């Protein structure tokens, strides 16, 4: 909270006490009211911005030929998933011969634009085909308080592994 407040119509102006005992006007940056940025002598605000680290992670792995579903559980009212990384690996449990028909691509729910990944149709036994997206800016899902899923569809001779890093916010 502020060291002092000056009453104005419709609210208060918050201040902090500087090292020399003077009060400085501050701008509240967080919903908790404890995160502030001080104005310098030229009335400029300096804010350090950076990518928020993910603090939640989901991994899903299934048996060969079985769908794998990574589910980000609903986080509560007005809370969205912000995805920072998605990694999907297709592991070949048997040799697969290339085909003109595309491999069944992983599907998603609650992700804008219905993201799709392409994997090889031909592979030697024991081969991994890996796709990873690290978002420069976190991907905000479409709907709040809703499960978000990434599903590696049941595909013969493939074990899917799906990993998602994310955080919850409004």
What is the fold, at CATH topology level, of the domain defined by 56-169?
Jelly Rolls (2.60.120)
Reading the chain (170 residues) residue by residue, the pLDDT tens digits are 455 656 666 666 666 676 677 766 655 555 444 455 555 555 566 555 556 788 999 999 999 999 999 999 999 999 999 999 999 999 999 999 888 888 878 999 999 998 888 899 999 999 999 999 999 999 999 999 999 999 999 999 999 999 999 999 98
pTM for the full model?
Answer: 0.71
The full set of domain ranges for the chain reads 4-38, 56-169
SS3 42: coil
Asked if 111 contacts 139 with a C-beta cutoff of 8 angstroms, the reply is yes
Burial 100-135 (b: 16+ CB within 10 A, else e): eeebebbbbbbbeeeeebebeeebeeeeebeeeeee
Q: Could you identify the residue written with the tokens 């031909």?
A: 122
Q: Rounded to an integer, what distance in angstroms lies between the CA atom of residue 84 and that of residue 35?
A: 24
Tens of pLDDT, residue by residue over 37-65, are: 555 555 566 555 556 788 999 999 999 99
């Amino acid at each position: 909270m502020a060291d002092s407040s000056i009453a104005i119509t419709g609210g208060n102006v918050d201040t902090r006490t500087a090292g020399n005992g003077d009060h400085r006007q501050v701008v509240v940056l967080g919903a908790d009211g404890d995160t502030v940025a001080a104005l310098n002598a030229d009335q400029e605000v300096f804010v350090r911005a950076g990518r928020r680290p993910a603090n939640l992670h989901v991994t899903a792995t299934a048996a060969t030929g079985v769908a794998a579903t990574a589910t980000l559980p609903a986080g509560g009212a007005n809370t969205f998933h912000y995805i920072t990384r998605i990694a999907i690996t297709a592991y070949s449990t048997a040799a697969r011969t290339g085909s003109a028909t595309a491999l069944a691509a992983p599907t998603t729910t609650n992700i804008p634009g219905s993201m799709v990944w392409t994997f090889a149709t031909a592979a030697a036994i024991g081969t991994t085909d890996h796709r990873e997206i690290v978002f420069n800016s976190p991907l905000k899902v479409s709907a709040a308080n809703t499960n978000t899923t990434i599903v590696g569809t049941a595909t013969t001779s493939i074990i899917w592994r799906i990993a998602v890093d994310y955080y919850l916010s409004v």
